[in-house]
Amino acid sequence: MNVEQFFDQVLTVRLTPDRRALDIIDQTLLPGTIRRINLETKEEIWEAIKKLRVRGAPAIGVSAAYGMAVLSSRIEAADFESFYAEFTALKDYLASSRPTAVNLFWALNRMDACAKKAGQEGRSLDEIRELLYREADAIQAEDVQISRNIGEIGFGLLKKLKKDGEPVGILTHCNAGTLATAKYGTATAPMYIALEHGWAGTDMHVYCDETRPLLQGARLTSFELNSAGITTTVQCDNMASLLMKSGKIDIIFVGCDRVAANGDAANKIGTSGVAILAKHYGIPFYVCAPSSTIDRATPTGDQIPIEMRDPDEVTQMWYKERMAPQGIDVFNPAFDVTDHSLITGMITEKGLCTDPYDKDFDRYGI
């Protein structure tokens, strides 16, 4: 299949034709099974975000926006005050699904602002419901354009590394691909844009960290890139140092879930280790960050909350038999924070930012 056919197949989230439910690809079943499921209730939407059926900061934001539109369409109220009281309760409920990805709160707050503005303008409840659907559509469309802009900037970096007859070696960690966004991805966007600009899949060789314990690199990123025809290799996370030392990696692209005002970036657990290795081996390390993930209200990475997840993800989730003693303590953080000093540059849809990041965020109006 060509890349557009692939995008159509794995579109992360959309509305059902009657707009009564979210239609998502269940990422917990990939790569073995490609299955779409409908989410109609607040509990189903919350569970899908919490259990990573939909995941990736931008995709979570889009899902939350569509979720609020769908759920708001069912609010039975006589006036705006009672409508808005239930709207706020739904918003708070969805916000409790995951604590780290700032896009979740950004999208929910944007939907909230849309509802409040319409209420202040005296719009009817039917008009407000329709405006919420339009706002969710706008959030999705903007996310596609944001990823495309990030991809164009990243592709510019790839072009500088291209050598005749040799593929550009790229390392990724976790999944910041089209499955994590509305389209293109963030960390994978440069590769997809390269295909659109006429590069062959063999012009790149992407190495995917498996990304323990949930294996998003092995299950999702490698599935995406291989399906799109890009030369792809999977390696265990603890093999990254040897791989970098071998000289096969020219550049590293990772995504992020939240960026502090100073440029510290929270991403999937293990990312900070990749950055430390990249610094040692002199390999450029870029964080692909939609401006919606940049949280200027959080001064440094020390203030970013880190989600702790179920111990079973480490001890038995992927095994036929339990692989650790019963009752053993398990440390299972979902994210770590990469210090801004380890980041070569941060690719936003508005431009490439470098340290001091707060100054460049100001320059680009982020």
Angstrom distance (rounded) from CA 54 to CA 63: 8
Tokens of 316: 């038995």
Told to judge if 257 belongs to the known catalytic residues of this protein, a careful annotator would answer: yes
- What is the enclosing helix (H) or strand (E) of 287? strand 285-288
- Helix, strand, coil fractions of the chain, as percent rounded to 5: 45, 15, 35
Cβ neighbours for 183, distance < 8 A, ≥ 6 positions apart: 7, 11, 143, 144, 147, 148
pTM: 0.90
CATH architecture for residues 3-143:
Up-down Bundle (1.20)
Q: CB of 294 within 8 A of CB of 106?
A: no
pLDDT (tens place) for every residue of the chain, 366 residues total: 677 777 878 889 999 999 999 999 999 999 999 999 999 999 999 999 999 999 988 899 999 999 999 999 999 999 999 999 999 999 999 999 998 768 899 999 999 999 999 999 999 999 999 999 999 999 999 999 999 999 999 999 999 999 888 999 999 999 999 999 999 999 999 999 999 999 999 999 999 999 999 999 999 999 999 999 999 999 999 999 999 999 999 999 999 999 999 999 999 999 999 999 999 999 999 999 999 899 999 999 999 999 999 999 999 999 999 999 999 999 999 999 999 999 999 999 999 999 999 999 999 999
**Structure confidence at residue 2 (pLDDT):** 72
| 257, 264, 336, 360: the active-site residue | 257
Angle between helices 102-120 and 57-72 (to 10 degrees): 30
Domain ranges of the chain: 3-143, 147-363
The tokens of 202 are what?
């063999």
Return the residue matching tokens 């259990």.
51
Look up residue 24 and give its two tokens: 């998502």
Q: How far apart are CA 323 and CA 212, in angstroms?
A: 14
Distance (Å, whole) CA 124 – CA 129:
9
The third-level CATH classification (topology) of the domain covering 147-363 is Rossmann fold (3.40.50)
